Amino acid sequence: MKDEIVIAQAMNGQVRIHAARTTALVEEARKAHHCMATSAAALGRVLSATAIMASDLKNPQEKITSVMNGHGPAGTVLAQADGAGNVRGFIGDPSLYLVREDGHLAVGQAIGTNGTLTVTKDLGLKEPFSGVAQIRSGEVGDDFAYYFAISEQTPSIVGVGVLVNPDGTIQASGGLFIQLMPGAKEEAIEKCEQVSAILKPVSTLINEGHSCEEIIRMYFEDAEMLGTRDVRWHCGCSRERFAVALKLLDEKELTEMIEDGKGAEIHCHYCNTYYNFTSREIREILESKRAENRPA
């Protein structure tokens, strides 16, 4: 089944719900970064939460970036998603395999609890909007819920989960956001409390083959589906884009790269792709830069 995010509302618009299946995109992320199980789960959860947030963007160029750093062994976990459904990101240490006593992957331990979750919304305006919250558990879902509470004043239930197979591949991944809208009445608050008490891990539901719509209806029988968004792992970097970036360096730096004869190796942190430019190619870039800068 293809990845997707379904957006719904319930109780006459007092509750807004997003359900996401992100299995394929998290598997792509795992492959790109050669992640071990705990790193894959940590990155997958942050990618899923960020993809859900971005599904509300109006414009394909708008972007949301989440950065979690709790000073645990995972280092920085970054996810970025745009209004077109493209999702990319990375984790500082992709090699973690940490397991809790109960057998679950120790995502909270990997991320750590001594730091912050920062969410930046770039809506194409002059100043991107940024919100910060302390990391509570490092388990990601709780941390995003806390972020929504303090930074956006939106009471939220956030579930994000990744099931990893014994061979390290991703079995199932997904997310569920349940949020109280401004003006929600006592009945809606009570309903969300009831739902919170019976909530199953979203990765389990995805693994059982439930569609996003079915997951939403499990908790809100009256839910009205508002739309479905495609979502995928896609970085968007390319050799051409990095050539443009090289061209922006000053002549002195480019000349040094040409003279040392080693060329340049550029690494895209988002998707872990390496691009190599030979000294000759850098010389061509420098020459075209000079030609452009020459007065007409």
Binding region for Zn ion (CB under 5 A): 235, 237, 268, 270-271
Q: What is the residue whose two structure tokens read 């509300």?
A: 56
Q: Cα–Cα distance between 69 and 126 in angstroms, integer?
A: 26
CA distances in angstroms from 150 to 143, 155, 257, listed in the order given: 11, 9, 48
Nearer to Zn ion by Cβ, of 8 and 29: the residue is: 29
Smallest gap from residue 72 Cβ to Zn ion (A): 25
Q: Which is nearer to Zn ion, 30 or 217 (CB)?
A: 30
Neighbours of 270 (CB within 10 A): 20
Task: State in angstroms the smallest separation of the CB of 86 from Zn ion.
Answer: 11
Task: Judge whether 17 and 164 are in contact, CB under 8 Å.
Answer: no
Nearer to Zn ion, 234 or 247 (CB): 234
Q: Which amino acid is at 231?
A: V
Residue among 100 and 267 whose Cβ is closer to Zn ion: 267
Q: How far is the CB of 35 from Zn ion (least distance, A)?
A: 16
Shortest Cβ 272–Zn ion spacing (Å)? 8
How near is the Cβ of 64 to Zn ion at its closest, in Å?
A: 17
In the bound state with Zn ion, the residue whose beta carbon lies nearer, of 200 and 269, is: 269
Q: Alpha-carbon distance 223 to 245, whole Å?
A: 47
CB of 6 to Zn ion, least distance (A): 28
Query: Closer CB to Zn ion, residue 148 or residue 270?
Result: 270
Phi-psi map region of 183: left, alpha, beta (phi>0 left; psi -120 to 50 alpha): left
Smallest gap from residue 235 Cβ to Zn ion (A)? 3
Nearer to Zn ion among residue 189 and residue 237 (C-beta)? 237
Give the shortest CB-128-to-Zn ion separation in angstroms: 20
Q: Is the CB of 219 or the CB of 233 nearer to Zn ion?
A: 233
